[in-house]
C-alpha cells in the first residue's frame, strides 16, 4: 500500500518544508497511532453491532425485527421524535431570533441557560420529571384524581426527550444568525415587507441549511436517548419502550441477536445522520455555523 503521508504542499521550498514538518517516520507513527485509536474505539464497536445482528443469518435478523414488541418500540420512538423535534425547532428559531438579531441585557446569561441541559446527566433529566409528576409529588394526587398519565406514558417520554434535545437547534442557529447580521432583514423591511414576510422570504432561506443541520442532530439524539427516557418510561413492554430501551430489555434477557438487530437499525440511523451531516458540511459550509461543537 503506497501511503502518501506528505504534508499539504503549502511550503514553497524543500528546505522550509523540512524545517516545518516531521520526519517520515514520525508522520507514519502518528498516523498509525491515530488510526489504531479510531479503529479500536470507533470502527470495531460499529462493526460489532452489524456482525452480532447477522450472527445467525439474515432470516433471524428479520424475524427479530418483526416481533410485535419491537415493532411498537419503533413506532413509539418515531412518535416521540415527531413531537419533540418540531417543538424544539420552533423554540430554537425563536431563541435564535431574539438572541442573534437584538442586543439586550442578560443575553449571555440566557445563552448559558439554553445550554444547561447539555451539562446535566441524562438520568437527572429524567429524575426531575419524576419529582414533579410522580405519585409522591405535589402534582401527583391531582393527576391521579383526573386520570392524567404523564409518567410511564408518552407525555413523560416527550418531556424528557425535549429536555435532553433542548439546545440543539438554538445552538446551531445562534452563531449562524449572528454572523449573518440584520442588514438583509432591514433592507426587506425598508422595502415594505411585514415582519412575517421578512422572516419567511429573507431569514428562512438564509438559515435553511443550518436549520436542517440542527434538526438532524436534534433528531438523532431524540431517537437515541436512553438515560432520561429510561427513568420516566416505566418499561412497560409493547407500550412505553422506545427502541433504545427495547435494546436493553432484549440484551438483559440474553436475546443477543434480537438486541443487536434493533441496535443495528439505530446504528444505521446514526450512519445516515453522519452522512447527511458531512454532506451538509461539505456542500453548504458557508451556510451552517462556523463552530461545529455539540
According to the binding rule CB under 8 A, does residue 273 interact with another protein? Answer: yes
**Would you say 37 or 71 has its CB closer to another protein?**
37
Query: Which residues does 257 contact at the CB level (< 8 Å), separation at least 6?
Result: 52, 53, 55, 56, 60, 61, 64
Query: Which residues does 74 contact at the CB level (< 8 Å), separation at least 6?
Result: 243, 265
- Tell the burial category of 149 from Cβ atoms under 10 Å away from its Cβ (0-12, 13-18, 19+): middle
Of residues 148 through 187, those in contact with another protein by CB under 8 A are 159, 162-163, 166, 182, 185-186
CB of 162 to another protein, least distance (A): 6
CA 254, CA 61: separation in Å to the nearest integer? 15
CB of 182 to another protein, least distance (A): 6
Interacting residue with another protein among 67, 155, 206, 227 (CB under 8 A): 227
Interacting residue with another protein among 43, 62, 148, 236 (CB under 8 A): 43
Of residues 82 through 101, those in contact with another protein by CB under 8 A are 87, 90-91, 94-95, 97-99, 101
Among the residue ranges 63-71, 149-157, 204-212, 224-232, the one whose residues contact another protein (CB under 8 A): 224-232
According to the binding rule CB under 8 A, does residue 230 interact with another protein? Answer: yes
According to the binding rule CB under 8 A, does residue 236 interact with another protein? Answer: no
Instruction: Build a one-symbol-per-residue string for 183-222: x at contacts with another protein by CB under 8 A, - elsewhere.
Output: --xx--xx----x--xx-----------------x--x--
Taking a C-beta distance cutoff of 8 angstroms, is the pair 20, 11 a contact? Answer: yes
Among the residue ranges 56-64, 145-153, 207-215, 262-270, the one whose residues contact another protein (CB under 8 A): 262-270
Helix axes 256-283, 44-53, angle to 10 degrees: 130
DSSP state, residue 6 = P
Of residues 12 through 41, those in contact with another protein by CB under 8 A are 16, 19-23, 26-27, 30-31, 33-35, 37-38, 40-41
According to the binding rule CB under 8 A, does residue 71 interact with another protein? Answer: no
Q: What is the DSSP string of 179-224?
A: HH-SHHHHHHHHTT--HHHHIIIIIHHHHHHHHHHHHHHHHHHHHH
According to the binding rule CB under 8 A, does residue 128 interact with another protein? Answer: yes
Taking a C-beta distance cutoff of 8 angstroms, is the pair 251, 49 a contact? Answer: no
Interacting residue with another protein among 143, 154, 248, 257 (CB under 8 A): 248
**Would you say 159 or 288 has its CB closer to another protein?**
159
CA 254, CA 256: separation in Å to the nearest integer? 5
**Would you say 207 or 243 has its CB closer to another protein?**
243
Query: Which residues does 180 contact at the CB level (< 8 Å), separation at least 6?
Result: 100, 206, 207
Among the residue ranges 8-16, 63-71, 148-156, 205-213, the one whose residues contact another protein (CB under 8 A): 8-16
Amino acid at each position: 500500500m503506497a501511503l502518501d503521508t506528505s504534508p499539504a504542499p503549502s511550503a514553497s521550498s524543500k528546505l522550509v518544508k523540512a524545517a516545518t514538518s516531521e520526519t517520515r517516520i514520525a508522520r507514519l507513527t502518528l498516523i498509525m497511532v491515530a488510526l489504531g485509536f479510531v479503529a479500536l474505539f470507533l470502527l470495531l464497536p460499529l462493526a460489532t453491532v452489524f456482525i452480532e445482528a447477522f450472527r445467525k443469518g439474515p432470516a433471524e435478523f428479520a424475524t427479530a425485527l418483526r416481533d410485535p414488541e419491537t415493532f411498537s418500540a419503533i413506532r413509539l420512538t418515531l412518535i416521540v421524535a415527531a413531537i419533540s423535534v418540531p417543538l424544539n425547532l420552533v423554540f430554537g428559531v425563536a431563541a435564535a431570533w431574539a438572541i442573534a438579531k437584538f442586543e439586550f441585557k442578560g443575553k449571555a446569561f440566557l445563552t448559558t441557560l439554553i445550554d444547561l441541559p447539555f451539562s446535566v446527566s441524562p438520568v437527572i433529566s429524567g429524575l426531575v420529571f419524576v419529582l414533579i409528576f410522580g405519585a409522591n409529588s405535589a402534582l401527583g394526587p391531582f393527576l391521579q384524581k383526573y386520570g392524567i398519565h404523564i409518567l410511564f406514558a408518552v407525555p413523560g417520554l416527550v418531556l424528557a426527550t425535549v429536555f435532553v434535545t433542548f439546545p440543539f437547534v438554538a445552538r446551531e442557529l445562534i452563531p449562524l444568525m449572528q454572523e449573518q447580521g440584520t442588514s438583509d432583514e432591514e433592507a426587506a423591511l425598508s422595502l415594505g415587507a411585514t415582519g412575517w414576510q421578512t422572516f419567511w422570504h429573507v431569514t428562512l432561506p438564509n438559515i435553511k441549511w443550518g436549520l436542517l443541520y440542527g434538526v438532524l442532530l436534534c433528531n438523532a439524539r431524540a431517537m437515541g436517548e436512553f438515560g432520561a427516557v429510561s427513568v420516566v418510561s416505566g418499561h412497560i413492554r409493547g407500550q412505553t419502550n422506545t427502541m433504545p430501551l427495547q435494546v436493553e430489555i432484549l440484551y438483559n434477557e440474553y436475546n443477543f441477536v434480537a438486541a443487536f438487530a434493533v441496535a443495528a437499525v439505530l446504528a444505521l440511523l446514526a450512519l445516515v445522520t453522519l452522512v447527511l451531516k458531512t454532506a451538509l458540511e461539505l456542500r453548504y459550509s458557508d451556510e451552517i455555523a462556523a463552530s461545529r461543537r455539540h
